[in-house]
């Protein structure tokens, strides 16, 4: 199989991105940033259309000419677009359509070209799980067109399909696994450092644009109060859940990285992660650490233990500062009395009411069933289902869910049997991130949007790493 970067070598004489061509990619990204900043001060309302359109154009250029830069650009679009949206809203007024948030989806959907190109032979080359999941989603889309309005169906399709096509793109480029691995490590290192630092700033200062968003969105029960030291941290992301998922993955990925930025990134990262008060992601991180420790060699285990102790020495003193200590301690105390916790009772009640109903749904309600049009405002709003399992059966029915879950289970089974994790700590960590994200489907729709990108994307990277190492062994034998 020909990897994606080599497919586009017709554009240049050398594979990948030499310095002179890499500069072109960075100029394109810098031009995108400068255009956005200029539009923000000249006419911010225009940016709601210009931002997604130019992001899409830059994504196509990077996809064709600079595959590695494209991957980093995609991740950063997910990380910063919600903050851009809040800054625009604060400057020119609230936009209930949240149309600018379509930008990262457009950037991801460029990889549909990879899927369509390799679809005919994907099953023979290890891509069967992605094909199964794709079939399940397309079934849900067709059912959705019958039962639901077109706009909610289109919006829901973006949530469901983006993680699959992006993950397939990562897997297809397995020949360039070392470059993709390095890119992910570098991207998430800077993500943890910058979004973690902003998260602490958000908690202490409560910037006006974040307060404005919280007031207009009316998410007080899930995101806290719009005052300093009153917010649950969501940093540059859309809300607490997505930020918790990103930090959970990023902090686990720091175990595979090195360099002088590791400790400052860890300090602000773990502190902001605690300030999310996202217990599900705290548990997911712990599960991930246990998985990593159980799958790597003793030498790497010792390195991880030392690293964890050093990080703890940096972070624990920070958590004793008031009022951070009160916030963290209060949230930790809820673990000892989950039966009285409102969130826990709501999720338990949701399962009691909906499990039998979801499992009896043979055909499903189709994609878009969780997006409803508000009769008062005329805008589409999402109905949150606090369970990925329930969401799958409600949306895809038994027919679609069998394909989707079949693809996910096949992926987990395959990745779980990889032995390369013993010497490649990135594969071990990618597997831990994917498995912990999958386990969280019990209490959230973590297969959608950025959480789904993380779930499917890191499982795909583990698959790519396995295939790369297998190829290296074969080459050595010959």
What pLDDT is recorded for position 444?
Answer: 83
Contact 373, 149 (CB under 8 A): yes
Split at pLDDT 50, 70, 90, the class of 81 is: very high
**Whole-angstrom distance, CA of residue 402 vs CA of residue 419:** 28
* Residue-level pLDDT at 45: 87
Looking at the DSSP bridge assignments, the partners of residue 381 are: 372
Burial of 340 (0-12, 13-18, 19+ CB in 10 A): exposed
Worst-scoring range by mean pLDDT, 67-81, 211-225, 232-246, 316-330?
316-330
Q: What is the mean pLDDT of the chain?
A: 86
470 and 477 in contact (C-beta within 8 Å)?
no
Res. 257 pLDDT band, cuts 50 70 90 = confident
* C-alpha R_g of the chain: 22
Please say if the pLDDT value at position 285 is more than 70: yes
Cis ω on the peptide bond leading into residue 323 (within 30° of 0)? yes
Which range scores top for mean pLDDT: 71-85, 208-222, 256-270, 408-422?
71-85
pLDDT (tens digit per residue) in 415-429: 999 988 888 999 999
Interval 34-54 mean pLDDT: 92
pLDDT at 3: 42
| Beta carbons of 170 and 130 less than 8 angstroms apart | no
Residue 299 CB neighbours (<10 A): 9
Tokens 């993500």 map to which residue?
191
Give per-residue pLDDT as tens, 433-454: 999 999 999 888 889 999 999 9
Q: Which residues pair with 372 in a beta bridge?
A: 381
Tell me: pLDDT of 307 over 90. Answer: no
What pLDDT does residue 217 have? 87
User: In which band, very low, low, confident or very high, does the pLDDT at 142 lie, cut at 50, 70 and 90?
Assistant: very high
Band of the pLDDT at 13, cuts 50, 70, 90?
very low
Does the reported pTM lie above 0.75? yes
pLDDT at residue 17 tops 70: no
What's residue 299's pLDDT? 79
Q: Which pLDDT score, from 0 to 100, does residue 275 have?
A: 93
């Amino acid at each position: 199989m020909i990897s994606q970067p080599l497919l586009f070598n017709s554009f240049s004489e050398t594979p990948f991105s030499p310095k002179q061509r890499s500069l072109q990619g960075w100029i394109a990204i810098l031009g995108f940033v400068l255009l956005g900043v200029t539009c923000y001060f000249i006419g911010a309302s225009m940016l709601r259309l210009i931002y997604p359109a130019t992001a899409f154009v830059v994504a196509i250029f990077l996809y064709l000419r600079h595959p590695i830069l494209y991957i980093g650009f995609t991740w950063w679009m997910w990380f910063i677009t919600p903050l851009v949206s809040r800054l625009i809203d604060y400057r020119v007024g609230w936009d209930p359509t949240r149309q600018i948030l379509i930008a990262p989806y457009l950037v991801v959907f460029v990889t549909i070209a990879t899927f369509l190109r390799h679809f005919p032979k994907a099953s023979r080359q290890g891509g069967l799980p992605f094909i199964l999941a794709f079939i399940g989603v397309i079934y849900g889309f067709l059912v959705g067109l019958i039962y639901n309005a077109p706009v909610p169906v289109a919006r829901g399709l973006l949530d469901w399909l983006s993680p699959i096509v992006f993950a397939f793109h990562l897997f297809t480029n397995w020949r360039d696994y070392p470059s993709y691995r390095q890119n992910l490590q570098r991207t998430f290192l800077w993500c943890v450092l910058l979004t973690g630092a902003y998260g602490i700033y958000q908690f202490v200062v409560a910037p006006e644009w974040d307060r404005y968003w919280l007031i207009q969105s009316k998410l007080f029960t899930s995101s806290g109060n719009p005052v300093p030291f009153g917010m649950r941290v969501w940093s540059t992301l859309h809300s607490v859940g997505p930020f918790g998922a990103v930090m959970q993955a990023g902090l686990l990925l720091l175990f595979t990285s090195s360099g002088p930025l590791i400790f400052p990134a860890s300090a602000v990262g773990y502190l902001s992660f605690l300030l999310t008060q996202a217990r599900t992601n705290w548990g997911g991180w712990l599960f991930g650490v246990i998985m990593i420790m159980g799958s790597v060699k003793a030498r790497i285990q010792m390195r991880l233990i030392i690293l964890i102790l050093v990080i703890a020495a940096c972070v624990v003193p920070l958590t004793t500062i008031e009022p951070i200590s009160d916030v963290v301690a209060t949230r930790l105390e809820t673990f000892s009395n989950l039966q009285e916790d409102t969130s826990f009772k709501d999720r338990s009640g949701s399962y009691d009411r909906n499990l039998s109903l979801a499992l009896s749904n043979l055909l499903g309600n189709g994609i878009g069933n969780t997006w409803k049009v508000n009769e008062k405002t005329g805008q589409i709003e999402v109905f949150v289902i606090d369970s990925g399992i329930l969401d799958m059966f409600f949306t895809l029915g038994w027919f679609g869910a069998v394909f989707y879950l079949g693809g996910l289970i096949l992926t987990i089974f395959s990745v779980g049997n990889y032995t390369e994790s013993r010497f490649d700590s990135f594969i071990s960590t990618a597997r831990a991130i994917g498995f912990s994200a999958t386990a969280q489907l019990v209490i959230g729709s973590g297969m959608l949007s950025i959480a789904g990108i993380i779930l499917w994307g890191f499982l795909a990277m583990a698959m790519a790493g396995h295939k790369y190492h297998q190829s290296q062994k074969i080459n050595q034998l010959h």
